[in-house]
Amino acid sequence: MSIKSKQAVAHPNIALAKYWGKQSFGHNLPAVPSLSVTLAGMQTSTRVTFDTGLDKDELSLNGAPSGEVELGRVTNLLDRVRARAGFQDRARVESSNDFPTASGLASSASAFAALAVAACAAAELDASAEELSDLARKTSVSAARSLLGGFAELRAGREGDETLAAQQVAAPTHWDIAIVVAVTREGPKDVGSSDGMKHTMVTSPYSAAWVAAAPKMFELVRAGVLARDLTKLGPAVEQSALAMHAGAIAADPGIVYWTGATVEAILAVRKNRALGLEGYLTIDAGPHVKVLTRGSDAEAVAAAMEKVPGVLRTIIARPGLGARVVS
């Protein structure tokens, strides 16, 4: 019997320029470029054990056996690793998050980034950061960005692409910013991001407008990150999120991820900004509002957001490292 085992950690990321929609020509390629910040303080920890004694892959999430859908996505990634390593051993995957999955912090990004790193290490593959990012991206697009620390970008897929990896734009120490998450609901979201974006692309009259407009927002966000200029990138961060949601809302039937508390929080971010507390909002496929602000303003922004009706609690997150092997 042969056993090969490695553990890796990865952090969630928040997109400042959003990815929403896949290219129609397959290979799980994004239709628009995106740019995110990888967050310290919260992590997914995943151990992969290839064991010749197993007759199928096994997955446990936070100590409990997973459902078939999650296991299918994990096997999808492991099959690519096995093909490259040239063996067929099944694996036991034990994954846990030290942050609540309902906090609105994309757990699939950190999950598939940690899985890619742990699986390649356990299979004794010598994979580059690009190869690991591409491997994660083939199962979860946003996971490609969690491979990198700090600020990471992923360009749109082009016809003919079979590989596509995220690239680091700047290290975590490049810019002292914070993301304040205003949690507006406990419990799982209604429509997952994969289903939501597919439905949007197929049925929303705004999807072509989104794909046409997103690159400009991405460029503004990228330039603002490189220049460490919050006032410059903030409006593009807000427009990227609101345009993404406008497309989803206009789908048939429309997908509304927001609750009343989401709207209250949006208005509060703008009111606080007018009063001199500079923050810009972004929203993923759920009702939580995330506020991008200067590191030195994070506590004040969190205190202000906690006063918003319907905001249950806040989490302050700062730029962190990329995915890595820990043992």
Residue 44's DSSP bridge partners are 10, 97
Q: To which H or E segment does residue 302 belong?
A: helix 298-306
The terminus-to-terminus CA distance of the chain in angstroms comes to 21
CA dihedral 126, 145, 83, 51 (to 10 degrees): 80
Distance of closest approach, residue 25 Cβ to ligand PMV, in angstroms: 18
Distance of closest approach, residue 325 Cβ to ligand PMV, in angstroms: 23
Helix then strand count (H, E) for the chain reads 9, 14
The one segment of 105-113, 214-222, 248-256, 298-306 that binds ligand PMV by CB under 6 A: 105-113
Q: Is 34 in the site for ligand PMV (CB under 6 A)?
A: yes
Distance of closest approach, residue 37 Cβ to ligand PMV, in angstroms: 11
Using the minimum distance from each CB to ligand PMV, give the nearer residue, 82 or 145.
145
Using the minimum distance from each CB to ligand PMV, give the nearer residue, 123 or 197.
197
Residues in the chain: 327
Fill in the DSSP letter of residue 30.
Answer: B
Tokens of 108: 């699939």
Distance of closest approach, residue 114 Cβ to ligand PMV, in angstroms: 14
Using the minimum distance from each CB to ligand PMV, give the nearer residue, 8 or 144.
144
Fill in the DSSP letter of residue 142.
Answer: T
Total interface residues for ligand PMV by CB under 6 A: 15
Contacts of 274 (CB under 8 A, 6+ apart): none
Mask: binding to ligand PMV, 155-194, rule CB under 6 A, as x and -? Answer: --------------------------------------xx
Q: Is 292 in the site for ligand PMV (CB under 6 A)?
A: no
- One of 141, 221, 292, 302 touching ligand PMV (CB under 6 A): 141
Q: Is 18 in the site for ligand PMV (CB under 6 A)?
A: yes
Pure H helices in 173-259: 193-203, 207-226, 230-249
Using the minimum distance from each CB to ligand PMV, give the nearer residue, 35 or 81.
35
Using the minimum distance from each CB to ligand PMV, give the nearer residue, 122 or 169.
169
Residue (of 225, 245, 241) closest to 233 by Cα position: 225
- One of 59, 109, 136, 301 touching ligand PMV (CB under 6 A): 109
CA distance 10 to 98: 11
Sign of CA dihedral 172, 176, 182, 183: positive
Q: Is 285 in the site for ligand PMV (CB under 6 A)?
A: yes
Helix (H, G, I), strand (E, B) or coil at 186: coil
Q: Is 218 in the site for ligand PMV (CB under 6 A)?
A: no
Sites of contact with ligand PMV (CB under 6 A): 15, 18-20, 34, 106, 108-109, 140-142, 193-194, 284-285
